Amino acid sequence: MEKVRLNKYLASIGTGSRREIDRMVEEKKIKVNGEYPSPGIKVNIKDKIEVNGRLLEQKQEKKVYYMLNKPKKVISAVKDDRGRRTVVDFIKTKERIYPIGRLDYDTEGLIILTNDGELYNKIIHPKSEVFKKYLINAAGNVKKIKLGQLKAGIKLEDGLTLPAKVRFLKEEGSTTWLTVAIREGKNRQVRRMMDAIGHRVISLQRVKIGTITMGDLEVGKYRQLTKEEVNYLKNI
């Protein structure tokens, strides 16, 4: 069997994303044939690989792809040390799946879960041009000049945001409905962008990733991605 880079190999069998695996190599959490490897080492199924002291079972898993309409008060993780419900808890599968990207605890909406580590960087990396679209209900009446600031980029404490796609929907009483599409994933980014222009987020829901939409999928429900949706993600 042909050998490939360690991060690519481990990502392909669902251990984590390439970025996560590179970090684990740096932190000496991975051994190959009893030794701490260099980042560029190449491996295959014949190599003995240990992750966090446990010998990896190198059985190629069937690749699975799900979308979940995440409810509020749910963690975008595989497990939570505080015992809170996670996105993985909603999906019945024998495969070891994990979420691609994150939605914060109080945000609803579309999240993709898989055991295919190759997809991770494709979706979350800004260079991928994959926009994530959010439906927002914000406090106050958001003026055009504020929408223009969102489109141009907002200066946050961890840097300037990339230009966003913004669409005003309607005013409803003392609130405003709008959509914002971004192609990066800073922590709580949409909420912080709205705070920066002086409008608190009342409700936030991710409704689209690239061309993939939730449609009429109910909150707390999930489904497998279609073959066309998987092919789209793989060809980003």
Could you tell me what percent of the chain has a pLDDT over 90? 69
**Structurally, how many domains does the chain consist of?**
3
CATH of the domain at 31: 3.10.290.10
216 a catalytic residue:
no
Q: For residues 113 and 222, state if they share a domain.
A: yes
The pLDDT assigned to 11 comes to 79
**Both 216 and 187 in a single domain?**
no
Instruction: Look at residue 60 and tell me if it is in a domain.
Output: no
Catalytic: which of 22, 47, 104, 195? 104
pLDDT at 25: 94
For residue 229, tell me if it sits in a domain. yes
Give per-residue pLDDT as tens, 171-224.
Answer: 999 999 999 999 988 889 999 999 999 999 999 999 999 999 999 999 999 999
Do 204 and 92 share a structural domain? no
Domain containing 120 equals 65-125+212-234
pLDDT of residue 199: 98
Owner of token pair 């991710």: 206
- pLDDT band for position 95 (cuts 50, 70, 90): confident
Residue 230 confidence class, pLDDT cut points 50, 70, 90 = very high
Residue 109 lies in a domain: yes
pLDDT score for 58: 66
pLDDT at 140: 97
Same domain, 30 and 76: no
User: Do residues 26 and 91 both lie within one domain?
Assistant: no
Same domain for 105 and 216, yes or no, is yes
Q: What is the mean pLDDT of residues 124-128?
A: 65
Residues of the chain with pLDDT > 70: what percent? 95
